[in-house]
Chain A
């Protein structure tokens, strides 16, 4: 079945065209076409997943290419697919969430005049996302990257009659394009230096040293810019909350589970190209995002906005995880987050469907009316809050552990862990605030409460399924085994042994290489003994290892997790120390995260359930902070004032310039002409609006200038004749 993986994206594409063309005329307006194709895709993905699972090889790869574009062999772009463990997981995630969202939409979008159009858009999104997952080259991932952006535009602006929806779609697309600009530059840099586009070939090119140093860092950051845009990372996170203007299933599918994860997936996919500096950049971007957006979520009252900010925040976790070297951690969080966040969004959709409002201030006590929604929502909330046994705990804990480990090795970067930990508490707080205000307590709006009702089965079944997937046992174990940190493509400076070269700068770590070797082996799950893995990993005959290049090590502490292939420099001493450190990090992060999670949940109950603290009073007490958060740190205003208005002003200025200056005065000639016209005092033409006009006016003007000689007086003519003779004679004679 793996060989037929390429079919998966085309199934939804087919339904896109069918629904677009004849959807309205089909029975049930064609929703079954989309459902059937994505369902078939899901089945195929599951089959593929199990095939991959049966092989159970971390290095499994299925890679096939066909030439797509060839210029006499001088320039070739291949099309192809790459299926490895990560892809297999992502396929299931995408098709799974997508299928459930399709199912949910049948109920949610029922009766919408553009019903079939909606399914067409969902299908084209699924196509793009699956293509993105399966792509095997920078070129094709860029293509699908853009297509995903387009589908998102179409879906966010689905109710385009609403100005806010149309605006949000536009904003999403343009903000994404800003990120894509970086992506484009990044991949162009890689292509320009390595001359190839496929991942593997590019990695090989990097390994051969075709691009290195700052340029490679820039290329990595450029590519990461794509992820910043798509995964709504600071500072391009502003589009995601606005994107909630789209129908709720869209929010669940695109803006929670899949598209926004594409950025994380991209970073994971091209992991080998990042230099330590680039990793640091990534990590701090993740940290800023997760903190800022979590603080905004604290005060938001729109149920979908809260979820949107929490999504940003969770994406920040993933990015942070990847940035600090927790490859498996970040991607695991991607996977678990897809399930529980989709569940949350669909749950919120169910609520919105019931009460026709998105404001949590108008809800309350819905537990009684919507039990299934409540239970599933609660499970997902527990998961995101990081309560043990739930999937969110499993993956978030791994991220925290990676951050802590990183911080332990590089104390100056300990803030990465601290921020993430604090935010974990905040997450628990704002999520439970949401649950409590929505489902518990007393109904705030009696009328809406009375009309609320549980959703139909085709809406709650997806909730149940997704809630069921929010437990950690689904993921622990195999995920860590199968989705392993790929070897970095950056060549080592072999002349300087990493252990010697970097020993001074790496605190507490005698061997960087060993550290990475240990780090690269992620714990299988909570409670496993990491050291064993490190040892096991060390034994595996791997590719030639490498370490951080020494020069970089001197400039910047090479503490940035830089994966060395296992077994390279891992001396026994280093390995055991490393294992110890890893264990320490693991234990501490677990304890701390549970502690902060509990604190957050407790605080939420204290404030909103038991009302021991009046949130209003707190808000009043810290009015500036509250306002600041309520206004989302004023990012939109900032961008509006700078980038948007700046561009518009520039464009207006250039438009004016074009109309009055370029067109007005193609060259100095025209300017001189106008000037001369005053001098002669005979030109009666007003100032011209164009250079062409200017030139023309000069020409015409000089015409009337010369015309003046034709006075009509005969003796003038003769005088000119005589003068002409004289002048010619004098000029020629002397």
Chain B
């Protein structure tokens, strides 16, 4: 059942908040005299904050379709709205601190950022392929601009160019896949498509469509072999943008990946929290292989990187691989593990990028050597980064470990031992390059002399990011409850 347009409006407050802020920012941008005024940042903060608040407070309308079924309001969507809004908020803070953006037009930047946020909101709740495509482009197009935001820099332009071409191609292929699905089922509603596919159609076109759609989502979450754009874009983009891209759109990509595949190619089974394949497309195994390949490639290539931003880009590819483990199992426990992982990943990955911003502010670049001696130059930042990196490795008592435990656990529970083993070995490999940064920070003499001063706000932000990373590693019961309830709603 779905609500009409007017009746849907009360459930659409987060999107309204973001939209309003974007509009206000445009006004500021056009009217404001000082393009570097912090007003824009403040406005973005307030807007994102209120979006976060509204998203959090959204009444749990279980599986309610809004706007005649264009979007759906369920716990799953709410979860991703909160998550992406939170990521955006942190990125706003990060952007304020980042040297790369201080001499750029502020309002414009936040307009793009919040547009992406709006796109992510819609993407995580889209239930119609039209809306899905629209949301995906809403995420993508401002992202292209954000990646190229450092207009004077070659690398930024190059990144942006590659991103736009790659993104356009991927979405083109995806939309072709959509067209096939539409042709097979005659509907743009994904639930209808799912039901129609379940009643049996020819296998090959369905497979072709599935593969083509996979390109679009795979590009969004940067899964191998659709990941090629991401290292280049991550390296060329401003650091906060990289941080943002590696968390926000990736999370939203997972949201739509899960929603789309679980609705279209699978259906809930009798037992609680189980799905079964409803079409002839055996995508779980496909994605299991992609998951293994993704994490392996991400980790292996990350080893040889000398640019921390690029290193973290590959690491985020690897993490996408880990998260895909939860996706392939056709259980809500697996999805729960993904959601949990996304939460902890948000904190640890943004945290790591935050420290990169702080270091780059001092050295104007983010080569590994810039981090040497950070342990003495800025102990707090260095310790925080160490925490984030070890959390990313998945070592207790940090939250990343718990995230991995949930993922591994469900994989093992389903008997996909090989995947668990590959993932486990991958964590060992990942230690090597994460520890390399730690080693440089603590075990080597500084290249840059002098203390690296970290201002008060970044300190607080670091603390805000470190605390959950530590806390969720020691006590994560509430978090897993949230993840659990978010998954449960999706099924209805």
Touch between chains A and B, by CB atoms below 8 Å:
yes
What residues of chain A have their CB less than 8 Å away from a CB belonging to chain B?
A: 696, 699-700, 702-707, 709-710, 712, 714, 716-718, 720-721, 723-725, 728-729, 732-733
Cβ–Cβ contact B286 & A721, under 8 A: no
Cβ-based interface call for B179 (8 A): no
Cβ–Cβ contact B303 & A703, under 8 A: yes
- Please, how many angstroms separate the alpha-carbon atoms of A709 and B231 in the complex? 12
- Please, how many angstroms separate the alpha-carbon atoms of A318 and B359 in the complex? 84
Residue numbers in A under 8 Å from B60 (CB-CB): none
Cβ-based interface call for B415 (8 A): no
Q: Provided the pairs A700-B303, A703-B304, A718-B169 are in contact, do residues A732 and B211 lie with their beta carbons within 8 angstroms?
A: yes
Cβ-based interface call for B228 (8 A): yes
**For residue B428, which residue of chain A has the nearest CB?**
A699
Q: In whole Å, how far is B432's beta carbon from the nearest beta carbon of chain A?
A: 7
Additional A-B contact list (11), CB under 8 Å, known A699-B432, A714-B162: A700-B300, A700-B304, A703-B303, A706-B300, A712-B232, A716-B228, A721-B170, A721-B228, A724-B226, A725-B212, A733-B208
Q: In whole Å, how far is B207's beta carbon from the nearest beta carbon of chain A?
A: 6
**For residue A710, which residue of chain B has the nearest CB?**
B231
Q: In whole Å, how far is B293's beta carbon from the nearest beta carbon of chain A?
A: 10
Give the dominant DSSP class at B's interface.
helix
- Please, how many angstroms separate the alpha-carbon atoms of A732 and B265 in the complex? 15
Cβ-based interface call for B6 (8 A): no
Q: In whole Å, how far is A140's beta carbon from the nearest beta carbon of chain B?
A: 49
Residue numbers in B under 8 Å from A723 (CB-CB): 225
**For residue B310, which residue of chain A has the nearest CB?**
A710
Cβ–Cβ contact A732 & B286, under 8 A: yes
Cβ-based interface call for B182 (8 A): no
Q: Provided the pairs A707-B301, A714-B162, A729-B207 are in contact, do residues A720 and B282 lie with their beta carbons within 8 angstroms?
A: no
Residue numbers in B under 8 Å from A717 (CB-CB): 162, 166, 228-229
Residue numbers in B under 8 Å from A702 (CB-CB): 300
- Please, how many angstroms separate the alpha-carbon atoms of A723 and B226 in the complex? 10
Q: Mark B161-176, 1 if CB is under 8 A from A, else 0.
A: 1100110011001000
Residue numbers in B under 8 Å from A706 (CB-CB): 297, 300-301
Q: Provided the pairs A703-B300, A714-B161 are in contact, do residues A733 and B207 lie with their beta carbons within 8 angstroms?
A: yes
Residue numbers in B under 8 Å from A733 (CB-CB): 204, 207-208
Cβ–Cβ contact B304 & A707, under 8 A: yes
What number of residue pairs across chains A and B have CB atoms under 8 A from each other?
A: 75
- Please, how many angstroms separate the alpha-carbon atoms of A364 and B255 in the complex? 107
**For residue B212, which residue of chain A has the nearest CB?**
A725
Residue numbers in B under 8 Å from A729 (CB-CB): 207-208, 211
Residue numbers in A under 8 Å from B282 (CB-CB): 732
Q: In whole Å, how far is B77's beta carbon from the nearest beta carbon of chain A?
A: 29
Cβ-based interface call for B302 (8 A): yes
Q: In whole Å, how far is B214's beta carbon from the nearest beta carbon of chain A?
A: 7
Q: Which of A699, A704, A714, A725 contacts B166 (CB 8 A)?
A: A714
Residue numbers in A under 8 Å from B226 (CB-CB): 721, 724
Q: In whole Å, how far is A501's beta carbon from the nearest beta carbon of chain B?
A: 67
- Please, how many angstroms separate the alpha-carbon atoms of A710 and B161 in the complex? 16
Cβ–Cβ contact B303 & A721, under 8 A: no
**For residue A727, which residue of chain B has the nearest CB?**
B225
- Please, how many angstroms separate the alpha-carbon atoms of A721 and B211 in the complex? 11
Cβ–Cβ contact A725 & B211, under 8 A: yes
- 254-313 of chain B: CB within 8 A of chain A: 281-282, 286, 297, 299-304
Cβ–Cβ contact A721 & B215, under 8 A: yes
- Please, how many angstroms separate the alpha-carbon atoms of A733 and B219 in the complex? 22
Cβ-based interface call for B383 (8 A): no
Cβ-based interface call for B440 (8 A): no
**For residue B162, which residue of chain A has the nearest CB?**
A714
Cβ–Cβ contact B225 & A724, under 8 A: yes
Q: In whole Å, how far is B225's beta carbon from the nearest beta carbon of chain A?
A: 3
- 202-224 of chain B: CB within 8 A of chain A: 204, 207-208, 211-212, 214-215, 219, 224
- Please, how many angstroms separate the alpha-carbon atoms of A419 and B200 in the complex? 104
Cβ–Cβ contact B304 & A699, under 8 A: no
Residue numbers in B under 8 Å from A704 (CB-CB): 304
Q: Which of A700, A712, A720 contacts B225 (CB 8 A)?
A: A720
Q: In whole Å, how far is A703's beta carbon from the nearest beta carbon of chain B?
A: 4
Q: Which of B161, B165, B286 contacts A728 (CB 8 A)?
A: B286
Residue numbers in B under 8 Å from A696 (CB-CB): 432
Residue numbers in A under 8 Å from B232 (CB-CB): 710, 712
Cβ–Cβ contact B207 & A721, under 8 A: no
- 229-256 of chain B: CB within 8 A of chain A: 229, 231-232
- Please, how many angstroms separate the alpha-carbon atoms of A725 and B225 in the complex? 9
- Please, how many angstroms separate the alpha-carbon atoms of A673 and B231 in the complex? 26
Among B166, B228, B282, B303, the one with the most A-chain Cβ atoms within 10 Å of its Cβ is: B228
Q: Give the 9 A-B CB pairs with smallest separation, nearest first.
A: A724-B225, A717-B228, A703-B300, A703-B303, A703-B304, A729-B211, A706-B301, A700-B303, A707-B301
Q: In whole Å, how far is B295's beta carbon from the nearest beta carbon of chain A?
A: 12
Residue numbers in A under 8 Å from B286 (CB-CB): 728, 732
Residue numbers in B under 8 Å from A703 (CB-CB): 299-304
- Please, how many angstroms separate the alpha-carbon atoms of A436 and B204 in the complex? 114
Cβ-based interface call for B180 (8 A): no
**For residue A732, which residue of chain B has the nearest CB?**
B207
Q: In whole Å, how far is B230's beta carbon from the nearest beta carbon of chain A?
A: 10
Q: Mark B116-143, 1 if CB is under 8 A from A, else 0.
A: 0000000000000000000000000000
Q: In whole Å, how far is A708's beta carbon from the nearest beta carbon of chain B?
A: 10
Residue numbers in B under 8 Å from A725 (CB-CB): 173, 211-212, 215
Q: Which of B173, B211, B228, B429 contacts A720 (CB 8 A)?
A: B228
- Please, how many angstroms separate the alpha-carbon atoms of A617 and B274 in the complex? 106
> Can you list 8 A-B contacts with CB-CB less than 8 angstroms, sorted by A residue number?
A700-B303, A703-B299, A709-B228, A718-B165, A721-B169, A724-B226, A725-B173, A732-B281
Cβ–Cβ contact A699 & B429, under 8 A: yes
- Please, how many angstroms separate the alpha-carbon atoms of A717 and B304 in the complex? 20
**For residue B281, which residue of chain A has the nearest CB?**
A732
Q: In whole Å, how far is B62's beta carbon from the nearest beta carbon of chain A?
A: 34
Residue numbers in B under 8 Å from A732 (CB-CB): 207, 211, 281-282, 286
Residue numbers in A under 8 Å from B281 (CB-CB): 732
Q: In whole Å, how far is B220's beta carbon from the nearest beta carbon of chain A?
A: 13
- Please, how many angstroms separate the alpha-carbon atoms of A428 and B297 in the complex? 87
- Please, how many angstroms separate the alpha-carbon atoms of A709 and B225 in the complex? 11
- Please, how many angstroms separate the alpha-carbon atoms of A714 and B214 in the complex? 20
- Please, how many angstroms separate the alpha-carbon atoms of A702 and B231 in the complex? 17
Residue numbers in A under 8 Å from B212 (CB-CB): 725
- Please, how many angstroms separate the alpha-carbon atoms of A703 and B224 in the complex? 15
Residue numbers in A under 8 Å from B161 (CB-CB): 714
Residue numbers in A under 8 Å from B214 (CB-CB): 728
**For residue A731, which residue of chain B has the nearest CB?**
B286
**For residue A718, which residue of chain B has the nearest CB?**
B169
Residue numbers in A under 8 Å from B432 (CB-CB): 696, 699-700
Q: In whole Å, how far is B404's beta carbon from the nearest beta carbon of chain A?
A: 19
**For residue B228, which residue of chain A has the nearest CB?**
A717
- Please, how many angstroms separate the alpha-carbon atoms of A696 and B432 in the complex? 9
Q: In whole Å, how far is B222's beta carbon from the nearest beta carbon of chain A?
A: 12
- Please, how many angstroms separate the alpha-carbon atoms of A725 and B219 in the complex? 12
- Please, how many angstroms separate the alpha-carbon atoms of A42 and B359 in the complex? 82
**For residue B232, which residue of chain A has the nearest CB?**
A712
Q: Provided the pairs A728-B214, A732-B282 are in contact, do residues A710 and B228 lie with their beta carbons within 8 angstroms?
A: yes
**For residue B173, which residue of chain A has the nearest CB?**
A725
Residue numbers in A under 8 Å from B303 (CB-CB): 699-700, 703
Q: In whole Å, how far is B197's beta carbon from the nearest beta carbon of chain A?
A: 15
Residue numbers in B under 8 Å from A705 (CB-CB): 300
Residue numbers in B under 8 Å from A709 (CB-CB): 228
Residue numbers in B under 8 Å from A707 (CB-CB): 301, 304
**For residue A707, which residue of chain B has the nearest CB?**
B301
**For residue B224, which residue of chain A has the nearest CB?**
A724
Residue numbers in A under 8 Å from B228 (CB-CB): 709-710, 716-717, 720-721
Among B208, B225, B429, the one with the most A-chain Cβ atoms within 10 Å of its Cβ is: B225
Among A705, A716, A732, the one with the most B-chain Cβ atoms within 10 Å of its Cβ is: A732
Q: In whole Å, how far is A419's beta carbon from the nearest beta carbon of chain B?
A: 69
- Please, how many angstroms separate the alpha-carbon atoms of A364 and B211 in the complex? 109
Q: In whole Å, how far is A667's beta carbon from the nearest beta carbon of chain B?
A: 13
**For residue A719, which residue of chain B has the nearest CB?**
B228
